[in-house]
Amino acid sequence: MDIDVHGMLRLEAKKYILETIDRCYKDRITILNVIHGSNNGTAIRSWLRGSKTLGDKVIEVTPHIIQSLDVTTIKIKRRK
């Protein structure tokens, strides 16, 4: 699943990302790509890549550049 948080306020983007992680877990989606800005501030990128607050559903967080977009891939645990 891909989500784009360009143009969102920092707190709005964080809330949306955390809600989407929960939804992915419930729907058994194991990969979430978060597309975020890299030119006009890096608060979301830094938070994602260094955050311990993403919760226990997250296995791994990996940065990427995909088609010149700054993307962070979140690997989510499988629901039992």
Domain of 27, in residue numbers: 2-76
What are the CB-based long-range contacts (under 8 Å, 24+) for 40-45? 43/10, 44/5, 44/10, 44/13, 44/14, 44/17, 45/70, 45/72
Q: Closest by alpha carbon to 73, among 20, 8, 26, 27?
A: 20
Pick the residue with more confidence: 28 or 70?
A: 28
What is the value of pTM for the model shown? Answer: 0.87
Is there a contact between 37 and 44 (Cβ–Cβ < 8 Å)? yes
Phi, psi of 77 (to 5 degrees): -60, 150
Query: Residue 4's pLDDT is what?
Result: 93
CATH for 40 = 3.30.1370
Number of domains in the chain: 1
Query: What are 12-65's pLDDT values in tens digits?
Result: 999 999 999 999 999 999 999 999 876 655 788 888 887 777 888 999 888 877
Terminal-to-terminal C-alpha distance of the chain: 20
Is there a contact between 32 and 55 (Cβ–Cβ < 8 Å)? no
Query: Residue 74's pLDDT is what?
Result: 94
